[in-house]
Amino acid sequence: MDRIRIIGGNPLNGTIPISGAKNAALPLMIAGLLTPETLILDNVPRLADVAQLQRILGNHGVDITAVGKRVGDGKYQGQTLQISAADIIDTTAPYELVSRMRASFWVIAPLLARMHAAKVSLPGGCAIGTRPVDLLIMALEKLGAEIAIDGGYVVAKAHGGLRGGHIDFPKVTVGGTHVALMAATLAKGTTLITNAACEPEVSDLAECLIKMGARITGAGTARIEVEGIDRLHGARHTVLPDRIEAGTYAIATAMTGGDVQLEGARAELLQSALDVLKEAGAEISVNADGIRVRRNGNGIRPVQVATAPFPGFPTDLQAQLMALMVRAQGSSAITETIFENRFMHVQELARFGARISLDGETARIEGISTLRGAPVMATDLRASVSLVIAGLAAEGETMVNRVYHLDRGFERLEEKLKACGAAIERISD
């Protein structure tokens, strides 16, 4: 099992190219199930989760071709995937495939919309809280699906096809909104989705669906309307840049000090995180090629932050911000409002000497001036990268174990950091 070894203390200086967003690429690939024609996706990141979803879609009979590099493509250019679901040969998504990644459950929506039947295993994914799928099921039922749970599987049927309806989410859910959107595109009549998630990845999915012929208005707001049509066609779409990856490297730069250009990052996708970083003492400027982050000389100031749905501070940057606050000059507080139990990084950060106490949903962090490197264990995707951030600033050696969590969501992490001066390497045993 691979490990990552870091010798901390080097500032980061240079350019980091930002990859396509994992959380946009996954629903976009799943949307390929909605049409018998070819969907071409550009800028798809090379990640373990993407490869796993390719296997899942392949099991339904989807043909996926990764197009090779074209002349002029840079080293970090994402891949182009041609997704063709001409014939869906199987509407079951088995436990062995779905249990490893929560987002794969979302295949239930296009399968039901196009084939009027789906049998999908209840999902797995990161161990952060209970993460149920009740709201996704509710959304499909509002569109006329009959749903039963049998042997760990969600069995869904829509005799005669889905029908438009009003889906009012009692809680903002990104996955629920993706599922509702995809299902509604091929339903008979109009669907109204209220209290929809406003995350940029939802807008990206909607934009692609519109290119495929879907009639959608209001994506990116809490009120989305979808007028169902009989058939969607092929399209070509570029995955938007990963705001969580950009935010992670911005935090890493604030942590170590230095000057890094985040190439291809879009500030409007992570404004709340950039505002928090400014408050913490980083200098942020936006230019034509992306975002520039600097921290030279001044110390890290403590902040009080609560995670929230977009445009609030993202839960997927909570662990990284906590690593930064470990070095702040004073006490800070971070409240997690999206997921219960998303504090597994706290005990691992303690191994660097961090002083963090938990009080319900709030972590209180007493800043310390020097972190010491340690062997640590990655627990989930975002938590594991917070350990890398701590390691980059810690004295001596840090060994991050179980890095397969990182490979699920960060493309060429060690290469990107190394190019900016970090002493980091992957050790494959």
Contact between 265 and ligand UD1 by CB under 6 A: the answer reads no
Contact between 407 and ligand UD1 by CB under 6 A: the answer reads no
Contact between 207 and ligand UD1 by CB under 6 A: the answer reads no
Helix, strand or coil for residue 401?
Answer: strand
Contact between 175 and ligand UD1 by CB under 6 A: the answer reads yes
Among 10, 12, 17, 23, binds ligand UD1 (CB under 6 A): 23
* Segment lying near ligand UD1 (by CB under 6 A), choices 55-63, 173-181, 317-325, 395-403: 173-181
Q: How far is the CB of 407 from ligand UD1 (least distance, A)?
A: 15
Contact between 224 and ligand UD1 by CB under 6 A: the answer reads no
Q: In the window 78-117, what residues touch ligand UD1 (CB under 6 A)?
A: 102-103
Q: 10 Å Cβ neighbour count for 78?
A: 24
- Strand segments, DSSP code E, in 88-175 are 92-93, 117-121, 146-150, 153-157, 166-168
DSSP-derived letter for residue 426 is E
Q: How far is the CB of 139 from ligand UD1 (least distance, A)?
A: 8
Among 209, 219, 273, 338, binds ligand UD1 (CB under 6 A): 338
Q: In the window 112-131, what residues touch ligand UD1 (CB under 6 A)?
A: 129, 131
Cα 182 to Cα 286: distance, rounded to the nearest angstrom:
34
Closest CA to 385 of 341, 332, 424, 330: 424
Contact between 171 and ligand UD1 by CB under 6 A: the answer reads yes
Cα 316 to Cα 379: distance, rounded to the nearest angstrom:
14
Q: How far is the CB of 1 from ligand UD1 (least distance, A)?
A: 23
Backbone angles phi, psi at 180, to 5 degrees: -60, -45
The H or E element containing residue 409 is helix 404-409
Q: 10 Å Cβ neighbour count for 210?
A: 16
Q: 126 catalytic, yes or no?
A: yes
Contact between 167 and ligand UD1 by CB under 6 A: the answer reads no
Closest CA to 219 of 267, 185, 170, 246: 185
The binding site for ligand UD1 (CB under 6 A) comprises: 23, 26, 102-103, 129, 131-136, 171, 173-176, 201, 315-316, 338-339
Report the catalytic residues: 126
